Amino acid sequence: MKSTARLEERFATSHLLNTSRHAFSTVASVSIRMKLTYYDIRGVFGILPTPATSDASEWSTKNSVNLPEVEKLVRLMVDAKVDLIATTGTFGECATLTREELVSLVECVVQTNSRSRPVFAGVTTLNTRDTIALARQLIEVGADGLFVGRPMWLAMDDDAIVRYYEDIARAMPGVPLVVYDNPVAFKGKISPAAYLRLAKIPEVVASKHTGGPQLLADLDAVGDRIRILPLATAWLDAAQAFPDRAIAAWSGSVACAPKFNMALAHAILMKDWTRAKALSDEANWAEAAMFANGDLAAFMDYSIQIGHLRFKSAGLIDPGPPRPPYLFLPDTYRDGAIECGRRWKGLENRTAARAA
């Protein structure tokens, strides 16, 4: 790209701020101006699907991103006042998009959003160098921060995880990073000890957490240095335990019910626990439909395909078909995915009616 030389020069200059290869110095940390910090991560971190063209299931398709539907989706987020936007996680299909498609998607999101709220571009590859190269390209097209999973071919221990995020932070000084902590996808949970070390990296401002018994322990471990983001359906318990820390959560259901998600966020942030409990119970009821026999692990094996069905059933966007190789879904999941979308549609319609 014609901008690559400028970008390389800027990052090469920035590297001079770091004097140690394996540790962050205090002087280097304070000399970098962060675009966003821990304190800016508040409210709903809405993770978007990537709408697909009608031929997206074919391996020969050159551009499978339905950009008009992407624009529509982003406008829905802006209209609902979703606080932060993220792209290309699991059901956003970071794993199935070509590099060119991913860049065009993020550029479309950025342009449609028009700086109305921060955009975190999902950037997960199988190695550090590809992640950094793609991350630089996404920041160049206007992303405000990065949503970063780790390589998953082999499991990574604490030292490898910390070094991975240190390297990205050195390569992208001042660019906020949201860690993607998904034990199933990345072959292991980030430990409290690793979180304590990640908390020393100024660029690491938040972590998308999948919840479970470790959620409260991780919230306690990182203190006020990393914003731990529970799933919105688990947000209430975390907020009641840590009302001053658990002030943000991630949601994949924003593409089904953005206004409902914001109503839940408002209740939690206002500490209206009675209202928050009622809305949280409804959100969990809606989500429960897509877990066949309550099996979360099995759901993870088909989350992309399930996502396409529930987003279509919710009716706000046309997600199109899934992309290869994640094309097939056992019948046992199909009805639940469709019912999940229907439930979200009902909750969204009721929320909109109350606001009218």
Run of H or E residues at 146: strand 145-148
Q: Where are the alpha helices (DSSP H) in the chain?
A: 4-15, 26-31, 67-80, 99-113, 128-140, 158-171, 192-198, 215-222, 235-241, 258-269, 273-288, 296-301, 303-314, 331-355
Distance CA 38, CA 30 (A): 15
Helix (H, G, I), strand (E, B) or coil at 224: coil
Which of 81, 189, 208, 259 is an active site residue?
Answer: 208
Q: Is 208 a catalytic residue?
A: yes
Q: Which residue has the tokens 């993607």?
A: 180
- Rounded to whole angstroms, what are the CA distances from 341 to 68, 201, 308? 21, 39, 10
Which two structure tokens, joined as six digits, stand for 336? 């639940």
Look up residue 126 and give its two tokens.
């199988």
Q: Number of helices and strands (H, E) in the chain?
A: 14, 8
Give the CA radius of gyration of the chain. 19
Query: Which residues are marked as active site?
Result: 208
